[in-house]
Amino acid sequence: MRRAVSGTVIAIVAVVVVVVVAAGAYFALGMGGSTNTSTTTTSTGGGTTTGATPPTGSLNSSIGAFVNAFNNRDVTTIKTYFTSSSQIDWTGASGGLGGTYQGSDGAGIVYGASVGHTSSLSAKASDIKTTSTGPTTSTVTYSLNITGVSNVIGKFNSTVAVSQNWAYQSGSWVIQADNWNYLTFSSNNPSQATVFPQWGLTLNGKPPSLAGEHVVEWNLAPYLAVGVYGVIVVLGLAIVWVRIRGQKR
């Protein structure tokens, strides 16, 4: 009898492990997660050459190309300016996007969330200052004024103080540290200016504005969570039952 009970407990544990692993794999694949690599992709606007010495004017060209990529909502190109060791910090009135992000995938998350629901965007950089900190490194600061229209929060306007550490690696300029301090942020619907605007829309009785690749996750997540917690509860009850049976014997 004891062997049968032990077998039941083992089977339940196995089910829990399978459910948790499957859930993790599902969300990792469903949200388009990709693995970090140490390879630096050459920037499209970085004055690309081979060698260790950056060409004259190449940093200014890369800065302009980076801002242009943001202006064009081109997250794929933005990610090429970051490596797996890059760190991104967004602070201030960032509309719910404040936090620290790591690597090119982190850049894809924060920049993608920033422009993902915009139907138009205009970003203008001013007061650009470049300070050399070494033969292949520089600190760049500038002010960025961003205006646009989002299908979630309507018209918005923000001012950002940007500070970046750039490094010349493998023939192109990349960003090692990317600090955005949102000095101002205003929109038509400020209560919905959040990393997860779907929650704000749902609470207000409106249908969530979802990107196509996230529809399944949004609808399935509550049921998946109930299933995982249900299995955990069943496992706990099974363990208690086994202990009670053991005490009676």
Provide DSSP, 157-179. Answer: EEEEEEEEEEEEETTEEEEEEEE
Cβ atoms of 79 and 101 closer than 8 Å? no
The 10s digit of each residue's pLDDT in 43-57 is 333 333 345 788 999
pLDDT of residue 75: 94
* Enclosing H/E stretch for 132: strand 118-134
C-alpha torsion sign, points 193, 199, 204, 205: positive
Q: Over the chain, what is the mean pLDDT?
A: 76
Confidence bin at 8 (pLDDT 50/70/90): low
pLDDT of residue 229: 82
Tokens of 5: 């009970």
What size, in residues, is the chain?
Answer: 249
Query: Judging by DSSP bridges, how do beta strands 82-92 and 172-187 pair with one another?
Result: parallel
The 10s digit of each residue's pLDDT in 205-215 is 444 444 444 54
The 10s digit of each residue's pLDDT in 33-83 is 333 333 333 333 333 334 578 899 999 999 999 999 999 999 999 999 999
Examine the pLDDT at 219 and tell me if it is beyond 50: yes
